[in-house]
Structure 1
Amino acid sequence: MIKHDTDIIIAGGGLAGATLALALARTLPQLRVTVVETFPLSPEALPDSYQPSYDARSTALAWGSRLIFEELGLWQRLSEHATPIRHIHVSDRGHFGATRLDAADHQQEALGYVADNRWMGLCLMRELLQTSVVWEAPAEVTDMQPLPDGVRVTLGSKNGERELTGQCLVVADGGRSGLREKLGFRVDEQAYDQHALIANVSTSSSHNYTAYERFTDAGPMALLPHGSPRRAGNTAALVWTLDSGALDDLLSLSNEDRCQRLQQRFGWRLGRFTRIGECSHYPLTLKTVDESVRPGVVLVGNAAHTLHPVAGQGFNLALRGLMALVEQFRMATEQQQPLGSLQVLKAYQARHRQDWQQTVRFSDSLIRLFGTHLPVVTTARDAGLMGLDLLPGAKRWFARKAMGLGGRRADIRASGTAITEHNNHE
């Protein structure tokens, strides 16, 4: 076997890349892992304490993702600023259909959580700096050539270019992955012809740890509890779907007028909207890569799939995929197989495919179903929402989807051994 500079090269040190690096360090400490990240990183740059920002962007974590972070030894720290979702309310604006989920009905303390991205990143960095993971930052992978037993990548930085060899390159540089495009992976895109507006909002009534999924004739919106995990507050994380004209119109308004516009679309379940924070927005497109592996290369996270944010499935699906990849690497290591061999990476893809296909279909069909305004369809979906409250089996299935319990999840222990595997297919 060829002697490489490292074993696993991870292109991208965001949430997906950093989580994969930590999982590999916990599970397979004998492997050499190198993360290549465009932003500079040093222990001195990490703050000693974390002060939540009103305008911080956040991620919805399913209950199943909490279980993964527990196995990685990260949850105790992460939970310090993770707001629980104890109730979920799904409704169809202007129609009678609605359903409610309650964590207590499933003997859980929460259905999921909302955590600021910056806090999650800080927790991951603190843990990673205590491992043997090597960081190349600031730098980026600019090119890759396959080798008989691995890959050779070109790293670009302010000091020029140099080469690095490894058994496998993991592309984790996000939904706009330039490396994915350079390597020629085929991306299937379906535009939703809408934009997502992301902001934090203040309300006169407490969120009571309730997440609202509100489907309207202009597109879906979500309001997730945000803020203190110990006291139900008056701040929520908003994901608002708008067409380009409505988005431009909204961005031209004053904060007061934006609140009134949001009030008209969402209603009064959270009382009066009193403030909308800094807004960011981006066009909504379903992006998938059906063949996300090649000899020596695998795509993960948003580089492999980008979903509609309202369904809250994207990062949770990515996290389950990362754990499936770690489990496949563990098995290959035990069998002394090259980690970048097509046989190993194809086996990972097969392991993760059912979860990936089901989650993509669930997310996309949910958006398209509630985007249809034909009377026969609206009547059927409203009856379906009400039916969830009346049929325990259907409601349990929907709850398990929301909680991210399903797929194949490797049970990773901090001792470095993957012990069992759960087969909780939805």
Structure 2
Amino acid sequence: MQKYDVLIVGGGMVGLTTALAIRQHSPLTVAIVDTQPLAEITSDADVRVSAINAVSQQLFTNLDVWQAMIEMRAQPYQQMHIWDKSGYGKLDFTLDDLAAREHNGQLGWIIENSVIRRALWKKAEQDQGISFYTEEKLSNIAVGESEVFASFSSLPPITAKLAVGADGARSWLREQLKFSMTFQDYDHHAIVASVKTPQGHSNTAWQVFLDTGPLAFLPLSMQQQGSDLCSIVWSTSPERAQQLTELSPQDFAKEITAASDGKLGSISLVSERFTYPLTMRFAQDVVKDRVVLVGDAAHTIHPLAGQGVNLGLLDAAALAQTLTAPFDHQSVNAETTHWVDSIALQQYQRWRKADAAEMIAAMSAIKQVFTPQQAPIKLLRGLGMSLINQVTPVKSQLIKQALGYRHHLPDLAKTVAD
């Protein structure tokens, strides 16, 4: 029976980041179980993308994977333009709203999920302390007093001293161990696709708030196709999402052009459309015995601010810091070092639950502000947006939040100067 220190169920962006972060500061051995094939990077853009903020970029830099992402495909943006379809309110964020030392030259990066995962996976493959199990899914898991026992259908079982659930919003591990969850249906479905924008994206992230929900245009890096490709995330009611996905590509493109007030030109659809329901999930506990949840397995939020994956990456860095802290002061022998510390794990839980709860509340508040309102409320909303747009200190604080800066960041997400 193969023994490991940490078993990570899920080899997506957060699971792989967790593994690399643990290995960077400890001798702990890691097993990753994931049967999802590693996607090849082709000339066609992945419709699933992530908005990577400055803090996550620093985390990837410290893990020595950022350059690999840049060399594949990554699109920086220096501006954000947000406006209210039903009013006159707007917000424009630029680098001028921050001191140079606070933004590292960009407001953020739009990167295809397949690019991020590939860079992390390839880095993990180079580490002899990380083993991959890609042939079969786990069939059973049991938590003992000192170990976690994981079984496959036909492969030999494995054990670990700690299991990490990084297997997404519908986490198998979370369900097997019956973690209690709080759910809230956002009553939105998200449509994602790739589109061409004749006027170009101008290295800008665009978002319009419609009566039925936000529509975001996220700039993509496709050198051979120019700077006119965007990934869209259109959050709208389930009924409206069904109507939009049933339209012909030409009629769908007309709807997007109209919704965006033609600010990016006459848009055309260049990919399939995918839709999925949006649900808030929040684990009442992210630590149970020898099992920890991270990323979407622990919490999911509305994508209107693009912060979901960044929140999960901070989970990964924070958990790694919690687990590897004892190795800063003791022998580097994993057998004699007591690194599974229940008190430390409870501190981790309080840390990450507070961060997630704050983000969930913020997303709910923003969504509520932009729900269909009577004319006087719309007027006040427009006045508020215009006022914020003119007050530099307020804009600066909002941008810092978007960049990911918080009072309590994991060490791996900080620069050396921090």
TM-score, L = length of structure 1:
0.89
Given that residues 208 and 232 in structure 1 are in contact (C-alpha distance below 8 angstroms), is that contact kept between their aligned partners in structure 2? no
What residue ranges of structure 2 are gaps of 5+ in the alignment?
331-335
Distance 1:56 1:215 in 2: 21
Paired residue for 1:370? Answer: 370
Higher deviation after alignment, 314-323 or 326-335 = 326-335
Match of 2:143 in 1: 146
Choose from 116, 119, 137 the match for 1:120: 116
1:98 to 77, 87, 90: 90
SS of aligned partner of 1:240: strand
Corresponding residue SS for 2:88: coil
Aligned with residue 295 of structure 2, among 287, 294, 301: 301
Residues 190-229 of structure 1: pairs in structure 2 closer than 5 A: 190-228=184-222
* Aligned-partner residue type, residue 385 of structure 1: M
Please say if 1:130 is aligned against 2:126.
yes
- Contact 2:324/2:339 (CA < 8 Å) preserved in 1? no
Task: Rate the CA distance shift 1:40–1:262 in 2: closer, same or farther, 3 A.
Answer: closer
Once the two structures are TM-superposed, the CA of residue 70 in structure 1 deviates from its matched residue by 0.8
Q: Secondary structure at the match of 1:412?
A: helix
Structure-2 residue corresponding to 1:32: 29
User: Residues 250, 307 of structure 1: CA spacing in aligned structure 2 closer, same or farther, 3 A cutoff?
Assistant: same
Q: Distance in 1 between matches of 2:139 and 2:376?
A: 52
Aligned to 1:386: 386
**Alignment match, 1:23:** 21
Q: Is the 1:296–1:341 Cα contact (8 Å) retained in structure 2?
A: no
Aligned-partner Cα distance in 2 for 1:214–1:407: 30
The DSSP-based 3-state class of the residue aligned with 1:257 is: helix
- Equivalent-residue separation in structure 1 for 2:185 and 2:315 (angstroms): 24
Partners of 1:15 and 1:420 in 2: CA distance: 24
Q: Distance in 2 between matches of 1:356 and 1:248?
A: 30
Counterpart-to-counterpart distance in 1, 2:96 and 2:212? 33
| 3-state SS of 1:368 partner | helix
Cα distance in structure 1, aligned partners of 2:249 and 2:343: 55
Alignment check: 8 A CA contact 2:188 2:278 kept: yes
Cα shift at 1:166: 1.5
Shift in Å at residue 77 of structure 1?
Answer: 1.4
> Counterpart of 2:30 in structure 1: which amino acid?
V
The 3-state SS of whatever aligns with 2:233 is strand
Q: How does 1:332-347 map to 2 (within 5 A)?
A: 332-333=326-327, 334=329, 338-347=338-347
Which residue number corresponds to residue 279 of structure 1? 273
1:350-365 correspondence to structure 2 within 5 Å: 350-365=350-365
Structure 1 unaligned regions, length at least 5: none
Query: Is the 8 Å Cα contact of residues 86 and 111 (structure 1) preserved in structure 2?
Result: yes
How far apart are 1:293 and its partner, in Å?
A: 0.6
Q: How far apart, in 1, do the equivalents of 2:384 and 2:209 lie?
A: 14
- How far apart in 1 are the matches of 2:401 and 2:43? 29
1:255 aligns with: 249
Amino acid corresponding to residue 110 of structure 1 in structure 2: Q
How many residue pairs align between the two structures? Answer: 406
Change (3 A) 1:231 1:250: closer
Are 1:58 and 2:30 matched, yes or no? no
Corresponding residue number in structure 1 for 2:264:
270
User: Hey, what does 2:333 align to over in structure 1?
Assistant: none
- 2:388–2:395 Cα contact (<8 Å) kept: yes
Q: Deviations over 1:337-383 (max 9, x none)?
A: 64444322111112333322222211221112211413343233222
Q: Aligned partners of 1:322, 1:164: CA distance in 2, in Å? A: 22
Moved more, 105-114 or 376-385: 376-385
CA separation of 1:230/1:327 partners in 2, compared to 1, >3 Å: closer, same or farther?
Answer: farther
Q: 2:89 touches 2:382 (CA, 8 Å); kept in 1?
A: yes
- Aligned residues: percent identity? 28
Amino acid in structure 1 at the alignment position of 2:91: T
SS at match of 1:19: helix
